[in-house]
Amino acid sequence: MKRRDITGIQKVLDKVFETKEPPVARCRLLSSGLEAYHRIYTDREVTADKTCIACGNCVDSCAVLRREPERLERTEQRTSMALESVVGKDCEQCYSCALACPMTDPEIKEYIVNSRIKESLPRVKALSQWDKYYAPVVAFICGILIGLFLQW
């Protein structure tokens, strides 16, 4: 599959991600739509269709809705529109919805991961010292000891 160059839409994507609203629908519309090889059986041409397929992935992955599932009592729909109406401006900009959406291009998801998701694992100084300096020395000494033991 050919990779899509999204450099031309990065400014628009940045605006979408800076807005405190569910980003999934706009990510979907900025994507390429269904590819001809997608396994959807229908009697109409759907290639490049960008509509929401109502899979509900965005609803299931939303941090706000996981914490406050009672918001879902307002609708039975599991679409991006439902997400916009029950979350709206309370969006916490975690981008899980866009990452979970099968209609969002992988290159857009990659851009989200690289530019928006903060690294949450703190670096432990002692461990990085171990990785960089002590582990190779210990491995070297162990190698010599094993070599001596085998010759003995």
Q: Write out the residues near ligand SF4 by the rule CB under 6 A.
A: 22-24, 28, 52-58, 61-64, 78-80, 83, 87, 91-97, 100-103
First to last CA, the chain: 57
Nearer to ligand SF4 among residue 102 and residue 143 (C-beta): 102
| Residue carrying structure tokens 């009697």 | 43
Nearer to ligand SF4 among residue 74 and residue 141 (C-beta): 74
- At position 63, the amino acid (one-letter code) is A
Query: What is the SS3 assignment for 93?
Result: coil
Smallest distance, ligand SF4 to C-beta of residue 56, A: 5
What is the three-state SS of 101-130? CCCCCHHHHHHHHHHCCCCCCCCCHHHHHH
Nearer to ligand SF4 among residue 9 and residue 21 (C-beta): 21
DSSP assigned state of 20? S
Nearer to ligand SF4 among residue 89 and residue 123 (C-beta): 89
Smallest distance, ligand SF4 to C-beta of residue 10, A: 18
Smallest distance, ligand SF4 to C-beta of residue 81, A: 8
